[in-house]
Chain A
Amino acid sequence: MAVYPPQPTKEPPISARGPIAWIRHNLLSSPYNIAFTILGLAILYWTVPPFIKWAVIDAHFAGDSKSACTGGGACWVFIKEKLDMFLFGFYPHDQLWRPKSVFAAVLALGAFAKFVPGLHRLKLTLIVLFPVFAYLMLHGGHFGLSLVETSKWGGLLLTLVIASVGIVLSFPIGILLALGRQSKLPIIKSLSVFYIEFVRGVPLITVLFMASVVLPLFFPEGVNFDKLARALIGITFFEAAYVAENIRSGFQAIPKGQYEAADALGLSYWQKMGLVILPQAIKVTIPNLVGTFISLFKDTSLVMIIGLFDLLAMVNVTANDRDWLGMDTEGYVFVAFIFWIFTFSMSMYSKRLEKRLDTNNK
C-alpha cells in the first residue's frame, strides 16, 4: 500500500492553447478541413473586397442629385435624399414630426423601462397607453392634429406598425387557441384544431387577399373599413395559429407533475395555466416564438400586393422616380440592412431573455 503526495497544477502545453492551437484544431485538423478552409477563404476573397469597394470606397455620399454619382460605386445620395420616403412613405412632409415623435417615444419608453428601477405599475400603464398615444399621433383627427389616412402611411413606419400590432395581438389569441387545443371540452378542442389547421394550410397572401377583397363583401353597402385595419386583422389571425402551435409545443415540455401539483394546491384552471404552466411553456418556446415573430416581421412585405407600401415597396416607388432611375440596387441593399438590424436585434433579445429566465443555473 502507498500514500501519494498532492500533485501541483501545471499549465497545459503551448501546443494545446492559444490561437495557433485553435487554428490547428478547428481549421486544419484533416485534409477535408484544410480544403474547406481554403474554399471558405476564396469565397470571402471573391465577395467581400468587391462589396466593400462598391459600398464604401467607390461610393458617393455627397451631393443632392443623381449627377453627383459618377463612376461605378454605390450612390448613397439616393438613400439620403429619399430617406423620409423609406421611413414614413407618403406621410405628409409637414407632419413628419408626428411619426418622429412616436419613434422617439418608443426609445424613451424603452430606456425608461430598462434603466429606471421599480415603478412597475407606472411602466405598465405607460406601455398599455402607448398604442393609444401612437394611434392618436399618427392618425390624428383629434386635438387639432390633421387627419392622416392610413393609406398615406408607408415605409418603415408601416412595417413596424403591422409587425408590432401583429405580434402583440396574435400572442394572446395564440395562447387562447393553444389552451383551446388542450381543452377537455370536445367542441372547443375541435374548433381550435380546425382553426389552427385551416389557417396553417393557407398562404398568407390568400389571407391578405381575402381580408382586402372578400371581407368587404360581407359589410353593408357604404361601410368602408380601413384597408390597413383589414390587413392587420388578417395578419393577426394568421399569426395566431402559428403562435398557438409554438405554445402547444411548450405545453408538451411541461411534466404532468406540474399540473398535478397545481391541482393539489387547489389552483383553479386559469390560475394553474396562468401562474404555473404558461410561464414555463412560454419560456421553453421562446426561440420558436421569436422565430415566428421574425418571419412575421419579414412577411409584412406581402401587404404590398393589397396596395400598402411598406419598407420594401418603397424601393419600387423611389427607384421609379424619373430623377433616380436605376437605383434599385442601393434601395434593396439599404432595405435589406434595415430588415437585418431589426430581425437580428430580435434574435439577440430572445437569447438574452432565455438566459435571464433560465432558473436552472442561476
Chain B
Amino acid sequence: MANETPTQTQAKAQETPQATHISKEDPKAVHPLGEPMIRLENVNKWYGDFHVLKNINLEVRKGEIVVVAGPSGSGKSTMIRCINRLEEYQEGSIKVKGIEVNNDVKNLKKVRANVAMVFQHFNLFPHLTILENLTLAPVWVYKKPKKEAIETAMHYLEKVNIAEQAHKYPNQLSGGQQQRVAIARALCKSPDIMLFDEPTSALDPEMIGEVLDVMVKLAEEGKTMITVTHEMGFARKVADRVIFMDAGQIVEENDPETFFHHPESERLQLFLKQILNH
C-alpha cells in the first residue's frame, strides 16, 4: 500500500478500508464498517504559490477510526480542516455523506451539522460558562428547546467526567478539563463524524491521558473519527488505519500493526525512528 502514485491510491481507495479492517483482530470488529462518510478525491490546495495539499485521495467509512500522522507542515491539519471547510481547496472534490463541500451555503450547513471538530487550543468561548458553551449551537443553530439542550449537555459533560464544572468559566479549568469540555461541546450536536486536530498537543503531559481516555471511549462506541495526532500510543490502540503525510501528500497508509512495525516507505521509517527512539 505504500509509495503509490496518486492514481494507484485512488484506485485502491475503495477496497483499502475493508481490507485493513478484516485484518484486525481487536473487539472493534463488532462494529462493521458502514457506508462511506467522507470521500476526498484528488484534492489540491495552494496557499498563494505554495502547494500544501497534493492530490489527496481518502475515503473514511462509518465507524472507522483514522489517525493522521506526519511531521509539522506536512498538511495534515489543513487536510482535515478542508473537510468542514475551515479551509478552502482549489481542485478536486470533498464529499461528506454524499454532500459536496463547496461554497453552497446550504451544503455547508448540512456538512457542519454532521461534522464536529476539536481543536488543539480548545477554542472554548471564554465569555460563556461551560454549560452555555455546550448549549449555544444546539439552541441557536439546531433550534432545540433550551431544557432539552441542557439535558443533552449535562449528559455529555458526565460522559467526559466534568459535570460538576458546568457553571464555571473555561479559564477556571485546567487545559485537560477544557479539552474534555471541547469534546463534549462537539458531541452536543450529535455529529456523525468527529475531527480531532492535534487535541493533546497544547496540553501539559499529565493531562494528555484524561483526554485520550475520552477519545478511546468514543472510538469504542463506534464514532467515525479522523484524528491528527502525535500520540502514537493512541493510534496503536484504537486506529483502524494510520495515514502518514509528508510534504502535502499521503505517503503511506496501513493498519497500525504494519504501520508501526513494518513501515514500507523510507520516509515513514525515518519519521518513526525520529519520534519513537528517544
Contacts and interface: CB of A to CB of B under 8 A. Distances in A.
A222 B89 CA distance: 60
Nearest to B87: A260
Interface in A339-362: 357, 359-360, 362
A211 to B, nearest CB: 38
A262 B116 CA distance: 11
Nearest to A362: B169
Given A265-B112, A280-B126, A357-B127, A260 B169 contact: no
Interface of A is mostly: helix
Interface in B15-72: none
Contacts of A357: 127
A359 B126 contact: yes
B224 interface: no
Contacts of A63: none
Contact of A265 (B85, B141, B169): B141
B127 A359 contact: yes
Interface in A250-284: 255, 257-258, 260-268, 271, 275-276, 279-280, 283
B169 A263 contact: no
A267 B186 CA distance: 13
A271 B140 contact: yes
Nearest to B195: A264
A158 to B, nearest CB: 37
A162 to B, nearest CB: 32
B141 A257 contact: no
B84 interface: yes
B112 A257 contact: no
A257 B121 contact: yes
Given A257-B119, A360-B171, A267 B127 contact: no
B112 A260 contact: no
B14 interface: no
A265 B136 contact: yes
Contacts of A283: 127
A265 B189 contact: yes
Contacts of A276: 125, 136
Nearest to B182: A261
Given A266-B189, A359-B169, A260 B123 contact: yes
Given A260-B86, A260-B123, A264-B116, 6 more contacts: A255-B121, A262-B125, A265-B136, A266-B113, A279-B127, A360-B171
